[in-house]
Amino acid sequence: MPDKPVDVRISAEAVDRILADAIRGLSLLPRRGVEVGGLLLGTADAGGGISVTVDDILAIPTEYAFGPSYSLSEKDKDNLRAVLRQWERSPGRPAYPVGFYRTQTRDGLSLTPEDQELFSAYFPDPSSVVLLIRPQPLGSSVAGLFFREGGEVRAESSYLEFPVRPRGLRKASDAPAPPQPEPPKPQSEPAAPVAEPAPRRRQPRWVSWACFPF
């Protein structure tokens, strides 16, 4: 994003899990479905700009005491506090809460007063982010990121909206290309025979990332 020192990276696995949770919510109620939400788990740093990596998510259920919107009751907040204590950032912990996500089945992408209260009360770190997703059963869903600037959050709209889609619908160009193997070096003389074939090298596992640098 121009003039915004923000870099947020979300793993393909985390994107798939969010979208699966979102589509599940759409199926729970006719027409608009219900909204769902949870924690973004990963690492974050606010030194010299916001840098966030999301490796996974953890859904936080709600009893829908106020209707199909994702608005937490006091019982839901008690559960959230307990989960946050379990995942509290500590030395040696590879992932911890770096923000939260929520689906939005209403028009637009904007933070509600409840979102802002949740963000302020439970995610006070300057590097914390909110990810809103407007899910679509078919095709690409639309997402938007929200973050703090000088301690304030622009709640009425995201600085940038972008498409997100399951891996099965992503373009081949979305994933980084694996490295090409080096050609075999010419040998000046025949190689000595061996009694057993050399063990095959295990291929590295390449992780696809949905990268949203701003």
Whether 214 is covered by a domain: the verdict is no
* Contact residues for 61 (Cβ-Cβ < 8 A; gap 6+): 76, 79
Which CATH number goes with the domain that contains 165? 3.40.140.10
Q: What pLDDT score was predicted for residue 171? A: 53
Sign of the Cα pseudo-torsion (38, 40, 46, 51, in order): negative
Q: What pLDDT score was predicted for residue 168? A: 61
Residue tagged 């637009």 (tokens): 108
Q: What pLDDT score was predicted for residue 29? A: 85
Q: What pLDDT score was predicted for residue 188? A: 45
Whether 11 is covered by a domain: the verdict is yes
Whether 145 is covered by a domain: the verdict is yes
Whether 194 is covered by a domain: the verdict is no
DSSP conformational letter for 173:
G
Q: What is the pLDDT of residues 60-101, one digit of tens each?
A: 999 999 999 999 999 999 999 999 999 999 988 899 999 999
Q: Would you state the structure tokens that stand for residue 97, as one six-digit string?
A: 């809460």
Whether 156 is covered by a domain: the verdict is yes
Whether 54 is covered by a domain: the verdict is yes
Q: What pLDDT score was predicted for residue 5? A: 79
Q: What pLDDT score was predicted for residue 197? A: 41
Q: What pLDDT score was predicted for residue 180? A: 43
Whether 188 is covered by a domain: the verdict is no
The model carries a pTM of 0.77
Spans of the chain, pLDDT less than 50 = 172-184, 186-211, 213-214
State which residues form the domain around 126: 6-172
Q: What pLDDT score was predicted for residue 1? A: 53
Structural domain count, the chain:
1
Whether 205 is covered by a domain: the verdict is no
